[in-house]
Chains A and B, each alone.
Chain A
């Protein structure tokens, strides 16, 4: 460990029996990874990476509604700066608010937000990062592209298994004060789920939703946030979707919560939880998946054989020492 400390130079600091590495630039991170590879060391409990020095916070780009932030910037700090420009990162889950930008953008579930009609979109419009093999990846900042494979996907949502994000251009949305809740009850939990999916598909964007059993019925409490006119439009749409599957309006609702850790879940996972009499709280509800509380822990979901190959190609020496 001592020789490693010397090789790493001022970027490294001895803490207890281990080392903490604080690179302040991509160049320093590239150098750190090179030293670790040479010494056949890897990041982990003994050699910890601290990205807090990657703390650059750019100006809000009001027209494009984006903001560039270093991987070490806390998400709450980004939100605060965005709020000054009457913009926001949007309705994120509680776990996302506690993350740094790097953790947010690399997380397999938190890295995406739900957009109309119930699809997912990366929160990052562009990223800069370092692959485990020491090469930089810098994706163009733009709404969409057809320029070859999406190399940013190696890092965005990648769990830090193939490389590390050093900065991201984050998508923002207007900050509006309007928030309304509506409560509907359904004869079965399947109807409640169907109404929720139909509303998403029709164009409703929930900030959150709670589904739970009550007196033999399933109750759905939906929270919508946005511009007042938009919330009004989407409330009407939500009511029609709920009624379409036999739902009944039950009032304005109250701020219900479900305890437990957040997990990315499929709609089948939600059905299973509700079918066992549980309650679920949905953040970032999309047709593809949701982030939820109240669902059972998954068994480890292997990312597939292609991922093994990618890991072998980009992190042959396991320098990142993590990921699935």
Chain B
């Protein structure tokens, strides 16, 4: 790395850092396993340096230098991933793309906008909203994720049932391959395969995305919310399936399983900081110990606790329709009819509005739970309607041996939906906690895929799911390896991710 420093510094005009703070700030994401490491005082492997290129040519030059010196390059957006997709497992150089921060004018005729890969999601949506448009992409991480990250991981937003995932919004993408060549994919109509779809989801292993042309829509005139209590998960799933079968396209659909239903709407944002008092000092010193003990005795014994969660049966179902006001209201009425026919009890618009108000809130209890010696993680997969309930039951059954299991169903489509599991577990020692975490993932993902689910709906693969992903490809591994050889012949781009 040291001998490449001068050359790299020259092409990025001095925007290179080897300071520890910069390396630690970019050499991480939000993978819960690494949060467990941090609790033990271990840090994820940092890169050797960070560069901030500002043009496609600069990225291409960085790639060429890296090829010559066989340096690993890891594209970096904002680090909101949860699968270890940006960890520098082989050292190398982090390519932070935040200087690709331009948002072009909206083309009102073609309904599209050119956006740099480093643009933060929330900034993009605010700028579009100010001009009367929306991308329709609202991931929970919108405040801490970039367009480039969305492209790299095939991101999904909370309104995906209507607007699709990011790959449905892309008209073309541009960037730099691992060969150092710049590219821009063509827009329809064209002959031959849609190469953009081959690159999206490659998590920095085939190319570095620098920008995209994305579809935009007029901002919706109205939003209509409605929630139901349904007698069971099966009934709730059937209600959703019928809604989509009838051609209805609500923007938001969320079905919480009975245990998750007990938490819906209970999350509170973190309270503002106060001056420390004697009581808070006591809380800070004594409470963590009490909580830790409690966590070990409850979450550390999921086999005892999970059966209790089965006592609850009723589930919460939330819909939101948006668009032209009368049309959204008409869709809402049709959805209500479908849900009532499945034994749903109409809870009105309140719970849906409450969810919408808090849709980006990270549960304030989570950091405290982590501090109390637990692990918390989420697993999202999708499956066809025939398999959804089976996946739910199988994952709950096997994961229940290692953690408390909650689930909600969202991102619904005509042919299936996503299942979003939350796992909370603990153990007597950090080693036991980490061991349990690893066993949980192997068991849960194995159960999901053997019951008919894919390995990821929108979090991606990274390091966490690399083995399961490679297994799921079967002979398709050859095709992936061919793509890797073609687009990154020296294997410098984000090595280790996707199992490459």
Contact = CB atoms under 8 A, between A and B. Distances in A.
Interface of A: 61, 63-66, 108-109, 116-117, 119-121, 125, 131, 133, 135-151, 153-159, 161-162, 171, 173-174, 194, 197-198, 201-203, 205, 226-227, 229-230, 233, 236-237, 240, 263-267, 287-289, 298, 300-307, 309-310, 312-314, 323-324
Contacts of B165: 144, 146
Contacts of A120: 168
B498 A108 contact: no
Nearest to A237: B327
A136 B473 CA distance: 10
Contacts of B247: 173-174, 205, 226-227, 230
B110 A143 contact: no
A234 B132 CA distance: 23
B112 to A, nearest CB: 9
B323 A148 contact: no
Nearest to A190: B109
Contacts, number: 266
Interface of B: 109-111, 153-156, 160, 162-165, 167-169, 171, 181, 183-195, 197-203, 206, 215, 217-218, 241, 245-249, 323-324, 326-327, 330-331, 334, 382-386, 411, 413-418, 453-461, 465, 469, 472-476, 478-480, 482-483, 485-487, 498
B455 A147 contact: yes
B474 to A, nearest CB: 6
Given A135-B478, A310-B486, A148 B192 contact: no
B108 to A, nearest CB: 9
B197 to A, nearest CB: 4
Contact of A201 (B217, B330, B414, B478): B217
Contacts of B191: 108, 159, 300-303, 323-324
Given A145-B457, A146-B201, A149-B200, A289 B189 contact: yes
B189 A156 contact: no
A145 B215 CA distance: 20
B476 A138 contact: yes
Given A140-B454, A174-B245, A303-B195, A65 B415 contact: yes
Given A63-B386, A151-B479, A233-B330, A307 B192 contact: yes
Given A119-B168, A142-B416, A63 B200 contact: no
A323 B370 CA distance: 55
Given A145-B456, A301-B186, A136 B476 contact: yes
Contacts of A142: 382-384, 415-416, 453-454
Nearest to A240: B324
Nearest to A300: B191
B324 A202 contact: yes
A233 B245 contact: no
A109 B110 contact: no
A136 B217 CA distance: 38
A159 B201 contact: no
Contacts of B326: 236-237, 240
B330 A305 contact: no
A314 B482 contact: yes
B183 A305 contact: yes
Contacts of B386: 61, 63-64
B479 A303 contact: no
10 contacts: A117-B162, A143-B418, A144-B165, A145-B457, A155-B193, A173-B414, A240-B326, A266-B187, A267-B109, A288-B215
B193 A158 contact: yes
A174 B454 contact: no
B168 to A, nearest CB: 5
B46 to A, nearest CB: 25
Contact of B327 (A65, A151, A202): A202
B473 A201 contact: no
Given A65-B245, A133-B482, A137-B479, A307 B331 contact: no
A125 B330 CA distance: 29
Contacts of B331: 233
B111 A145 contact: no
B384 to A, nearest CB: 4
A302 B469 CA distance: 33
Contact of B469 (A147, A159, A314): A147
Contacts of A145: 154, 201, 382, 454-457
A263 B327 CA distance: 32
A61 B245 CA distance: 13
Residue of B183, B326, B385, B465 most packed against chain A (CB within 10 A):
B385
A218 B453 CA distance: 49
A237 B222 CA distance: 14
A139 B241 CA distance: 23
A288 B188 contact: yes
A198 B216 CA distance: 12
A150 B201 CA distance: 7
B193 A310 contact: yes
A171 B244 CA distance: 13
Contacts of A135: 475-476, 478-479
Contacts of A136: 474-476
Given A143-B384, A146-B153, A153 B194 contact: yes
A143 B456 contact: no
Contacts of B187: 266
A226 B18 CA distance: 61
Given A116-B249, A143-B416, A162 B330 contact: no
Q: Which 7 A-B pairs have the closest CB atoms?
A: A303-B192, A158-B193, A324-B191, A264-B189, A153-B197, A146-B154, A143-B416
A143 B382 contact: yes
Contacts of A141: 384
A296 B189 CA distance: 13
Nearest to A106: B193
A309 B164 CA distance: 29
Contacts of A162: 193
B454 A148 contact: no
A130 B456 CA distance: 24
Given A108-B191, A136-B475, A229-B334, A267 B110 contact: yes
B75 to A, nearest CB: 15
B164 A119 contact: yes
A295 to B, nearest CB: 10
A125 B181 CA distance: 33
Contacts of B154: 145-146
Contacts of B418: 143-144
A137 B475 contact: yes
Contacts of B248: 230
A304 B479 contact: no
Contacts of A300: 191
A310 B44 CA distance: 35
A131 B476 CA distance: 10
B479 A161 contact: no
A97 to B, nearest CB: 20
A9 B259 CA distance: 61
A312 B181 CA distance: 16
A133 B457 contact: no
Contacts of A150: 167, 197-198, 200-201
Contacts of B469: 147-148
A237 B327 CA distance: 7
Contacts of B111: 197, 201, 287
